C-alpha cells in the first residue's frame, strides 16, 4: 500500500478509504477508551490525529508510541468529530518504526528556547517553528529560480574555490592541502604556494560577482545562487561565516534599472511565500507576536508579520541618495539628542543604527539608498560625474538593515584601472576581469542579495542562525 502525506490527508484525499501514513509522533494523550496520537511528517505545519481505540490496541502495543517515535499507521480517513481538524485516521494497525526514549529524547511537549534548539540543530527540524522556517526557505529558493527563469536569466554556477581576493582581503578562508605543521617554504622563508594544490594561494569565494560579470558579457542576464564565505568576526544576528547569496548581473542595465529589478524581485519572492506557505507564515506571525510580548514596548513590531509583508509587497520602496540620507539623519531628533552611537557626517559609512533609523523610524518602509561616496565602496562601482560618488545602491529593510548591496559597474577601462591602483590591487592579477572591458565592454549592473537575510525578513526570525539549517559562525561549526 502506498503512503499518503499528512498534507494531502488533511485536505481530504481518500476520505472513508483505507490509508497508510508515516511520520513522527508529536504527542499522545488518551483515556481508558481511546488514544489520540498527533502525527507530523513535515509536509505541513499541521498534525494528523490518529485515533487508536483501547479495545483494538493494548497498552503494550502503544507503550513505544511516544513523542519523537517514527510510526506507520494504517486505518480509515474519516471526518473528525473533534475540534481543530477536519479529518482524522481511525487506526487499524500501528507499527513503531523507530523508538524515541522519553527519558532522553530532548524535544518534549514544552516550548524550548531558540538558543537551546540551536544546540540540538540536528533535531530542531522537528519543531513547529523550524519546520515552518525551512518550508518557507524552500519556497523562497524555488521562487528565486522561478523569477529569474520567467525573466530570461541564465543560472550560472560560479566557483566556490577562487584565486581572486580582490573583494575580500582579510575576510577570506584559505583553501589548502599543505601540511600546516610543515608547509613548503621558499628560500626566503615564506610559504611556497607554488607547491600547494592549485600552484597558488586560493580561498573560498566571498562573491560570485566577477565571474558573473564575465558571463553577463555574453549571456546578457545571468544570476548566481550559491554558498558564500566570509571570515569576518561579526558576531551579530545578521552575519554568518557561510551564507547563500543571489547575484544577478545584467548587461545594458544602469543603476535605476538595477534598483527596479531588485525591488520587483524582492516583492516577487515575498508574494510567492505568502501565497504558497500561508499556514507556515501565519504560525510564524503568531510566534513573533508571542515573542514580542516579552519585549519592551519600543522594541515591539508595529505591524504583524503578515501586515508587514503585505505592506512591502503593495508599496513602492523609497529611493534616496546617500547625501539625502545623511541630511535626514543630521536633522533628526535622534541625532540632536545624541542617540546615535556612531558619528554621522558626509563620507562615513552608514552604520546599522543609521540604516534602521531611516527604515524603521523615518520612512517606515524599505529604502533604496543610492550614490554613495566612492571611498567607502568597492573599486568596481561606476564613478558618477561629480567625481565624489559612485553608482551604488543598498536596499535596507525594516528589522534587518542591509539586505541588498549592488551597483552599476565601472565599464571604462582607464577609470577602473585607476581605482584598482588606488586601492592597492594589481591590475595584472585581474587580467581576465579587465578583458571584459577590453573586448566589447558595455554598461552593466548587478546586485547581491543575502538569502538568509531575506528569509529572516519573511519568517520574522530575529537571529540569522535560525534560518539556515546548520549555521557556521565564529567558534561554531558543530553538526
Ligand atoms: P554588511 O554591511 O551587512 O556586513 P556587506 O556590505 O558586507 O553587508 P555585501 O558585500 O554587499 O554586504 O554583500 C551583499 C549581501 O550579502 C548583503 O546585502 C547581505 O544581504 C548579505 N551578506 C553580507 N555579509 C553577510 C554575512 N556575513 N552573512 C549573511 N549575509 C551576508
Ligand atoms: Mn560585511
CB-based contact 256:295 (threshold 8 Å): no
Q: What is the spatial distance between Cα 248 and Cα 209, in angstroms, rounded to a whole number?
A: 8
C-beta 452 within 6 A of ligand 1? yes
* Cell numbers for 143: 521562487
Q: 398: which DSSP letter?
A: T
Residues 6+ apart with CB under 8 A from 411: 382, 437, 441, 442, 443, 444
CB-based contact 472:241 (threshold 8 Å): yes
For residue 399, the model assigns a pLDDT of: 87
Rounded to the nearest angstrom, the distance between the alpha carbon of 140 and the centre of ligand 1 is 18
Rg (CA), the chain: 27
CA angle 466, 308, 127 (to 5 degrees): 30
Query: Cα–Cα distances in Å, from 276 out to 136, 170, 450?
Result: 9, 41, 21
CB-based contact 155:225 (threshold 8 Å): yes
Helix residue spans in 152-277 (DSSP H): 209-219, 255-276
Mutation test of ligand 1: which of 172, 351, 405 has the most ligand atoms closer than 8 Å to its C-beta? 405
Which of 389, 432, 430, 436 lies closest to 412 in space, CA to CA? 436
Question: Which ligand is in closest contact with the Cα of 231?
Answer: 1
Which portions of the chain are predicted below pLDDT 70?
Answer: 166-169
Mutation test of ligand 1: which of 210, 248, 351, 448 has the most ligand atoms closer than 8 Å to its C-beta? 448
pLDDT, one tens digit per residue, over 67-116 is 999 999 999 999 998 888 899 999 999 999 999 999 999 998 778 999 99
CB-based contact 377:393 (threshold 8 Å): no
Q: What is the spatial distance between Cα 250 and Cα 232, in angstroms, rounded to a whole number?
A: 29
Query: Residue 20: helix, strand or coil by DSSP?
Result: strand
Grid-cell match 499518503, residue found: 4
Which of 230, 232, 244, 146 lies closest to 456 in space, CA to CA? 244
Rounded to the nearest angstrom, the distance between the alpha carbon of 334 and the centre of ligand 2 is 25
Ranges assigned E (strand) in 317-388: 318-321, 367-373
Q: 302: which DSSP letter?
A: S
Which of 335, 340, 362 lies closest to 352 in space, CA to CA? 340
For residue 164, the model assigns a pLDDT of: 80
For residue 169, the model assigns a pLDDT of: 62
CB-based contact 72:64 (threshold 8 Å): no
For residue 166, the model assigns a pLDDT of: 67
Query: Residue 475: helix, strand or coil by DSSP?
Result: coil
For residue 110, the model assigns a pLDDT of: 78
* Cell numbers for 230: 566570509
C-beta 450 within 6 A of ligand 1? yes
Q: What is the spatial distance between Cα 209 and Cα 216, in angstroms, rounded to a whole number?
A: 10
* Cell numbers for 327: 541630511
CA atoms within 13 A on the CB side of 414: 0
Closest residue by CA, ligand 1 atom 2: 402
Residues 6+ apart with CB under 8 A from 353: 340, 341, 342
Distance of CA 102 to the CA centre of its chain: 34
The span from the first CA to the last CA of the chain, in angstroms, equals 36
Closest residue by CA, ligand 1 atom 22: 450
pLDDT, one tens digit per residue, over 145-169 is 999 999 999 999 999 999 987 666 6
Rounded to the nearest angstrom, the distance between the alpha carbon of 406 and the centre of ligand 2 is 13
Rounded to the nearest angstrom, the distance between the alpha carbon of 243 and the centre of ligand 2 is 12
For residue 118, the model assigns a pLDDT of: 96
Q: Quick one: which atom of ligand 1 is closest to the CA of 245?
A: 16
Handedness of CA 278, 279, 283, 284 (dihedral sign): negative
Phi, psi dihedral angles at 193 (to 5 degrees): -70, -15
Per DSSP bridges, beta strands 48-53 and 34-40 are: antiparallel
For residue 234, the model assigns a pLDDT of: 83
CB-based contact 233:474 (threshold 8 Å): yes
Which of 446, 462, 467, 448 lies closest to 139 in space, CA to CA? 467
Closest residue by CA, ligand 1 atom 26: 239
For residue 111, the model assigns a pLDDT of: 82
Burial 185-221 (b: 16+ CB within 10 A, else e): eeeeeeeebeebeeeeebbbbbbbbbbbbbbbbebbb
* Cell numbers for 284: 510564524
Q: What is the spatial distance between Cα 113 and Cα 44, in angstroms, rounded to a whole number?
A: 22
Amino acid at each position: 500500500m502506498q503512503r499518503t502525506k499528512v498534507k494531502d490527508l488533511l485536505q481530504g484525499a481518500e476520505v472513508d478509504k483505507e490509508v497508510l501514513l508515516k511520520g513522527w509522533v508529536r504527542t499522545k494523550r488518551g483515556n481508558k477508551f481511546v488514544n489520540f496520537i498527533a502525527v507530523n511528517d513535515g509536509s505541513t505545519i499541521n498534525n494528523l490525529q490518529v485515533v487508536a481505540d483501547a479495545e483494538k490496541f493494548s497498552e503494550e502495543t502503544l507503550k513505544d508510541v511516544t513523542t519523537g517515535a517514527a510510526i506507520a499507521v494504517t486505518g480509515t480517513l474519516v471526518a473528525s468529530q473533534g475540534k481543530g481538524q477536519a479529518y482524522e485516521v481511525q487506526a487499524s494497525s500501528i507499527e513503531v518504526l523507530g523508538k524515541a526514549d522519553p527519558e532522553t529524547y530532548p524535544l518534549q511537549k514544552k516550548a524550548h528556547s531558540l538558543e537551546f534548539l540551536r544546540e540540538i540543530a540536528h533535531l530542531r527540524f522537528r519543531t513547529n517553528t523550524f519546520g515552518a522556517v525551512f518550508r518557507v526557505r524552500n519556497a523562497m529558493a524555488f521562487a528565486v529560480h522561478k523569477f529569474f527563469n520567467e525573466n530570461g536569466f541564465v543560472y550560472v554556477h560560479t566557483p566556490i574555490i577562487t584565486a581572486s581576493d580582490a573583494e575580500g582581503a582579510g575576510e577570506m578562508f584559505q583553501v589548502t592541502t599543505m601540511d600546516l605543521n610543515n608547509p613548503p617554504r621558499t628560500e626566503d622563508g615564506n610559504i611556497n604556494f607554488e607547491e600547494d594544490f592549485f600552484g597558488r594561494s586560493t580561498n573560498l569565494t566571498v562573491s560570485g560577482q566577477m565571474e558573473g560579470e564575465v558571463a553577463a558579457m555574453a549571456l546578457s542576464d545571468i544570476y548566481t545562487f550559491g554558498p558564500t564565505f566570509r571570515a569576518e568576526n561579526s558576531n551579530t544576528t545578521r552575519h554568518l561565516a557561510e551564507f547563500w547569496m543571489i547575484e544577478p548581473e545584467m548587461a545594458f542595465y544602469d543603476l535605476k534599472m538595477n534598483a527596479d529589478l531588485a525591488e520587483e524581485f524582492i516583492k516577487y519572492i515575498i508574494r510567492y511565500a505568502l501565497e504558497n506557505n500561508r499556514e507556515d507564515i501565519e504560525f510564524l506571525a503568531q510566534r513573533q507576536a508571542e515573542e514580542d510580548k516579552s519585549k519592551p514596548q519600543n522594541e515591539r513590531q508595529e505591524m504583524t508579520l503578515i501586515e508587514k509583508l503585505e505592506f512591502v509587497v503593495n508599496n513602492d520602496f523609497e529611493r534616496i541618495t546617500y547625501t539625502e540620507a545623511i541630511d535626514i539623519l543630521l536633522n533628526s531628533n535622534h541625532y540632536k539628542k545624541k542617540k546615535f552611537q556612531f558619528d554621522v557626517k558626509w563620507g562615513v559609512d552608514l552604520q546599522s543604527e543609521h540604516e534602521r533609523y531611516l527604515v524603521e523610524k523615518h520612512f517606515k518602509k524599505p529604502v533604496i539608498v543610492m550614490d554613495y561616496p566612492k571611498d567607502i565602496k568597492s573599486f568596481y562601482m561606476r564613478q558618477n560625474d561629480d567625481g565624489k560618488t559612485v553608482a551604488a545602491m543598498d536596499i535596507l529593510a525594516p528589522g534587518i538593515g542591509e539586505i541588498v548591496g549592488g551597483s552599476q559597474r565601472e565599464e571604462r577601462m582607464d577609470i577602473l584601472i585607476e581605482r584598482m591602483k588606488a586601492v592597492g590591487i594589481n591590475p595584472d592579477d585581474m587580467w581576465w576581469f579587465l578583458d571584459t572591458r577590453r573586448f566589447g565592454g558595455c554598461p552593466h549592473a548587478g546586485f547581491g542579495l543575502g538569502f538568509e537575510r531575506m528569509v529572516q525578513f519573511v519568517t520574522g526570525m530575529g537571529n540569522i542562525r535560525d534560518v539556515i539549517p546548520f549555521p557556521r559562525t565564529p567558534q561554531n561549526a558543530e553538526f
